Structure 1
Amino acid sequence: MNKPTLHQIHPVLPVQNVLAALFFYTQKLGFTIAFADDPKNPTYAGIRRDHIEIHLQWHDEKEWDFNVDRPMLRIVTQYVDALYNEFKDKDVFHPETVVKDTAWQTREFAFYDLYKNGLTFYQNN
């Protein structure tokens, strides 16, 4: 009997405007569009960079509450300092965003996308 194996995960992030989110992730963070349910007015789309894929799903503004906990993705990367340098001039960071070594033996930086979904990029020390 074959043993089940987990292969990948594609997290789904809530967004208010899929086109704006696609622009942010492709133009600022270097992702490419993997798919979209509608080329002109998508409500669900996927983006890809290297070995990861993230899905973006439209949510009505009436249902939106920034005060609830937002998703936080932790993305394993190589050369986290180089990635930080790639992003630092793209106007995506909070002024206090830095690359730092953590007590849990990682080197990482974190920021929020347009809709307060958290993105942490890290490597193990």
Structure 2
Amino acid sequence: MKPYGYSLKSVTPIFRIFDVEKAIAFYTGYLSFQVDWQHQFEENFPIYMQVSLNGCILHFSEHHGDCSPGAAIRVEIVGIEALYEELSTKQYKYAKPAIEVTPWNTKEMQVTDPFGNKINFYENM
């Protein structure tokens, strides 16, 4: 392996959002993330923000050119059944995810946010 003099680290996806309150309600209320920070150049400008849960960090942007709505990401998880149980108890009326066992030996559960962005939680078997 050729030494490059640098090392890549984690990826932070950016999801396009259209309503900060809906994003916060979904990601903090339903998925249990926490809001780390929000940035807005001035009042009545789009918001850029970060949420996190354990080691998973997501960025959200209301800025038109930052990203397209309807993106999809995969998040590796340990304990997918526990996440499923937690989400099932919340009775969120816009999402009823289920765990699927895939032919490539993972357990997967997809959740779609209010803006069409998809998070596919997966656990290797």
- Of residues 50, 53, 58, the one that matches 1:49 is 53
How far has the Cα of 1:19 moved from its partner? 2.6
How far has the Cα of 1:27 moved from its partner? 1.1
Which residue matches 2:112? 112
- Partner SS state of residue 89, structure 1: helix
Give 2:111's aligned amino acid.
Answer: F
Which residue matches 1:83? 83
Which residue matches 2:25? 23
Q: Which runs of 5+ in 1 are unaligned?
A: none
Do the aligned partners of 2:16 and 2:69 also contact (CA within 8 Å) in 1? no
* Counterpart Cα distance in 1 of 2:22 and 2:83: 22
Q: Which runs of 5+ in 2 are unaligned?
A: none
Structure 1 length-normalised TM = 0.81
Structure 2 length-normalised TM = 0.81
State the aligned residue count.
116
How far has the Cα of 1:59 moved from its partner? 4.6
User: Which 4+ stretches in 1 moved above 3 angstroms?
Assistant: none
Identity percentage of aligned residues: 25
